[in-house]
């Protein structure tokens, strides 16, 4: 049973008490109207408290752990758990209080060290967090080092020590490759102008994690930035061959060919994209396809048709971010 239910039951008990009160009052020959008044008061109380609960961010999971902690206040596990949940809800002070207390109870407990470090980092207390993470990385050998390495990389990244951050991320990837690690490392490498490294990293990610779309797009972007147009084109063509719906790739192919100074080939790719988008629109007339067609038409010089598609998209999907941005951009030209 969670705290909310306890509260609710208490209120229901109060209501029941009030109802009993009303019965005794009734038995004393006082008007039944009093009973209704009491009942209304009780119902009002329930509603008010529930409204208050709703707007205070009350959470049954925290309530449940809190109730367990009242029985076992020195439980490091419970303190860590509540600290984690508080952090996940953005309540960093409450999280730190729990984790500091857990730390005082068991300074050698590495789980505590790590969770405390994560909360400190979330609070922007970088130096303290990094000290704790250094300790954890040195002492811990199991895969949880990945978490510490990634968090330390985040701290180092936001404090301008990009090289060290990249090094941490590389260590983390060696332990447990994930898309988030690859993306973050690539972003840092790109920010340093290390495009070769970034491309290699994305490539490695694609090899290890499968053909993740976000990594693939980043790799193509880097190849274009490196002016390795042929390689970028080959990557796009892989997707053209692979995908059942090719529009996004035709579109990117067309843009790239235009950069490469091949207007005829570019136009052909736009036409292919347009033909397929029209087919998709016939089957699934979604705003996503309308916006895609707008981009194609605009690139093909059909500005008015493109704007008409965007307006149609915004009519269907008011405030649709991408359509709004494009319309502003094109209207301004």
Partner 1 sequence: MSTLASEIHLVKKRTVGRNPLCMHAGILSCLLFLILAPSLSAEGAVVRQPYLQKVFTTATDSSVTVVWRTDLNSADNSRVQYGTVEGVLTQEAFGTAITRGNVKDHIVTITGLTAATKYFYNVGTVTDEVQVTGTSEHFFVTAPNPGTTTSFRAWVLGDSGVGSAEQTLVRNAMLTETALNPPDFILHMGDIAYNDGTDSEFTNNHFAVYQDILRHTPLWPTLGNHEWNSLNFPGNFGPYLDAHVLPANGEAGGFASGTELYYSFDYANTHFIVLDSMQSARTPGSPMLTWLQNDLTLTDKEWVIAYFHHPPYSKGTHISDSAADSGGRMVDMRENVLPILEAGGVDLVISGHSHAYERSYLLDGTYGYGTSPNFVTPSFNTLLNDGHLLDAGDGDPAGQGVYQKNSGGNSHDGAVYIVAGHGGNIPSGTGGHPVMLRFDPTNGSVLLDINGTMLTMRNLQAGGLINDTFVIQKGPSPGTPIPPNGVINTPLQDLTISVGTSVSFSGTGTDPDGGPTPSLTYDWNFGTGSGIPNSAQQNPGSKTFSNLGVFTVTFTVTDMGGLGLPDPTPDTVKVTVQNPPSNFTAYNDLAWGTGQLETHITTFTSPNGGSGLPSSGQLVDFSTGLPTPVSLAVTGGEFLDINATQGANPTTGDAFTLFNGKVSGLGAISYVNDVNNSLILTFTNLDPSKVYDLAYFAHRNGYAWDRASLVTLSGAPAFTNTSSVGIDNLGAPLFSGAGDSSTRLPADNDPGYVARFSQIDPGSDGTILLTISFDGNVANQYKGKYGSAVRLVEE
Nearer residue to partner 1 within complex by CB, 20 or 242: 242
**Nearest distance from residue 169's CB to partner 1, in Å?**
10
**Nearest distance from residue 126's CB to partner 1, in Å?**
18
Angle in degrees, CA 278, 281, 284, rounded to 5: 150
Residue 288: name the closest of 259, 257, 251, 254 by CA: 251
Nearer residue to partner 1 within complex by CB, 160 or 318: 318
Residue 98: name the closest of 73, 127, 125 by CA: 73
Count the alpha carbons within 13 Å of 56 in the hemisphere toward its beta carbon: 12
Those residues with Cβ within 8 angstroms of residue 75's Cβ, 6 or more apart along the chain or in another chain: 68, 69
**Nearest distance from residue 24's CB to partner 1, in Å?**
29
Task: Give the 3-state secondary structure of residue 264.
Answer: helix
Other Cβ atoms less than 10 A from the Cβ of 96: the count is 21
**Nearest distance from residue 137's CB to partner 1, in Å?**
13
Nearer residue to partner 1 within complex by CB, 262 or 311: 262
Nearer residue to partner 1 within complex by CB, 22 or 186: 186
Measure the CA–CA gap between 294 and 297, rounded to whole angstroms.
5
123: DSSP letter: T
**Nearest distance from residue 31's CB to partner 1, in Å?**
30
Nearer residue to partner 1 within complex by CB, 22 or 116: 116
């Amino acid at each position: 049973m969670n705290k909310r239910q306890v509260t609710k039951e208490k209120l229901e008990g109060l209501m029941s008490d009030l109802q009993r009160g009303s019965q005794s009052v009734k038995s004393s020959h006082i008007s039944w109207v009093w009973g209704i008044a009491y009942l209304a008061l009780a119902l009002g109380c329930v509603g008010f408290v529930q409204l208050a609960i709703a707007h205070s961010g009350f959470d049954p999971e925290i309530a449940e752990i809190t109730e367990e902690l009242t029985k076992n206040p020195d439980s490091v596990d419970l303190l860590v758990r509540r600290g984690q949940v508080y952090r996940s809800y953005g309540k960093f002070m409450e999280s730190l209080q729990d984790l500091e207390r857990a730390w005082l109870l068991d300074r050698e407990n590495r789980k505590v060290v790590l969770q405390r470090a994560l909360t400190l980092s979330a609070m922007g207390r970088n130096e303290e967090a990094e000290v704790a993470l250094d300790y954890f990385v040195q002492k811990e050998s199991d895969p949880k080092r990945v978490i510490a390495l990634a968090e330390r990389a985040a701290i180092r990244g936001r404090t301008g020590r990009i090289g060290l951050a990249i090094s941490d991320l590389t260590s983390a990837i060696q332990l447990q490759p994930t898309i988030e690690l690859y993306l973050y490392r690539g972003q840092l490498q790109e920010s340093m102008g290390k495009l070769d490294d970034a491309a290699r990293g994305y490539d490695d990610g694609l090899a290890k994690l499968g053909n993740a779309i976000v990594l693939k797009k980043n790799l193509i972007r880097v190849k274009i930035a490196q002016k390795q147009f042929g390689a970028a084109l080959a990557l796009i063509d892989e997707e053209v061959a692979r995908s059942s719906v090719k529009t996004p790739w035709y579109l990117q192919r067309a843009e790239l060919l235009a950069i490469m100074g091949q207007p005829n080939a570019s136009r052909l790719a736009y036409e292919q994209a347009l033909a397929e988008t029209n087919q998709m629109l016939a089957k699934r007339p979604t705003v996503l396809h309308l916006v895609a067609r707008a981009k194609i038409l605009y690139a093909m010089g059909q500005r008015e048709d493109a704007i008409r598609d965007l307006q149609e998209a915004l009519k269907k999907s008011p405030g649709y971010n991408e359509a709004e941005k494009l319309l502003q951009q094109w209207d301004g030209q």
